[in-house]
Homo-oligomer: A and B are copies of this chain.
Amino acid sequence: MFEIKIDNARYWKSCVDSIVSLVEEGTFNITKEGITLKALDPSVISMVLFSIPNKAFSKYDVDKPTSVGLDLTNFAKMLSSARLEEQLIMKDSGNKLAIEFVGPLGKRRFKLPILDIKKEPEKEPKVTFESTIDIRGDTLKEILKDTNFLSENVGFRTEKNSFMVVAKGDGGELEEEYAGNSESIRKLDVTKPSSVTFKLDYLQRIISACPQDSQIKMSFKTEEPMRVDYKIGDADVSYYLAPYIES
């Protein structure tokens, strides 16, 4: 039995968006401490780790750890009906998740079937990263948009004092260079220069839920999976993305 209340329904929608951008279904683990979710995308190229502490909620009654498997696409659609100034209550109701929006104009109650999702997500990749950068979310979104028409892949290179983005295709090539400790790149730590390429589409989905003006932390090692971290309010979202290696 649990009953969880959040004062800003639209905030919870943005949390779920950070998951549904990669996976269509997943299992929330609800414990006394908070809610977590870990899932691999269907193509097994990327992994999302979501976690939000109980303090993010205005009411958080959880008597025992519970797993709630959901069709996240439908969950996100329900949540997108959130109006301004609406609160959200989630509780279990038999084999369904009851979602109640409470606002000045009335109540809306959705019910979403709870699914038994078998597959256990794989372990997180173990990588000793050699470069990390802190970059503004909107800067990274613009950079990725620049490369869009050139290639399906985008390369990242780090050096002692610079972060470089490269893309190359039949139509031309692009190289962007950003200095560390600049307005866009607040922090750049390079123990060893890294060079690694990723599928652009996945990267764009991974950062799509990052709030405007938020910082994104990217961690690299040459030809290894990257890790992406950002915060959505009190929630922590992390992703792993496998490198693209030309065959």
Query: A residues near B, CB below 8 A?
Result: 71, 74, 77-78, 81, 83, 96, 104-113, 139, 142, 145-146, 149, 171-179, 182-184
CA distance A176 to B184 in the complex (A): 45
Contact of A106 among B74, B171, B174, B182 (CB under 8 A): B182
Assess whether B139 is in contact with A105, with CB atoms less than 8 Å apart. Answer: yes
Assess whether B145 is in contact with A81, with CB atoms less than 8 Å apart. Answer: yes
Assess whether B110 is in contact with A173, with CB atoms less than 8 Å apart. Answer: yes
- A71 to B, closest residue via Cβ: B171
Assess whether B110 is in contact with A142, with CB atoms less than 8 Å apart. Answer: no
Residues in B neighbouring A142, C-beta threshold 8 A: 81, 83
- A142 to B, closest residue via Cβ: B83
Assess whether B71 is in contact with A106, with CB atoms less than 8 Å apart. Answer: no
Contact of A176 among B106, B146, B174 (CB under 8 A): B106
CA distance A112 to B170 in the complex (A): 9
Residues in B neighbouring A96, C-beta threshold 8 A: 172
Stoichiometry, copies per complex? 3
Assess whether A178 is in contact with B105, with CB atoms less than 8 Å apart. Answer: yes
Assess whether A109 is in contact with B174, with CB atoms less than 8 Å apart. Answer: yes
Assess whether A177 is in contact with B107, with CB atoms less than 8 Å apart. Answer: yes
Asked if A172 meets B78 with Cβ closer than 8 Å, knowing A106-B177, A106-B178, A106-B182, the reply is yes
Residue with the highest number of chain B CB atoms closer than 10 Å, among A74, A78, A146, A172: A172
Assess whether B149 is in contact with A74, with CB atoms less than 8 Å apart. Answer: yes
Nearest Cβ on chain B to A183's Cβ, whole angstroms: 6
CA distance A206 to B108 in the complex (A): 23
Residue with the highest number of chain B CB atoms closer than 10 Å, among A71, A74, A105, A177: A105
CA distance A109 to B109 in the complex (A): 52
- A105 to B, closest residue via Cβ: B184
- A136 to B, closest residue via Cβ: B105
- A81 to B, closest residue via Cβ: B146
Given A77-B149, A105-B184, A109-B176, 8 extra CB contacts under 8 A = A74-B172, A78-B174, A81-B146, A106-B176, A110-B174, A110-B175, A111-B174, A113-B172
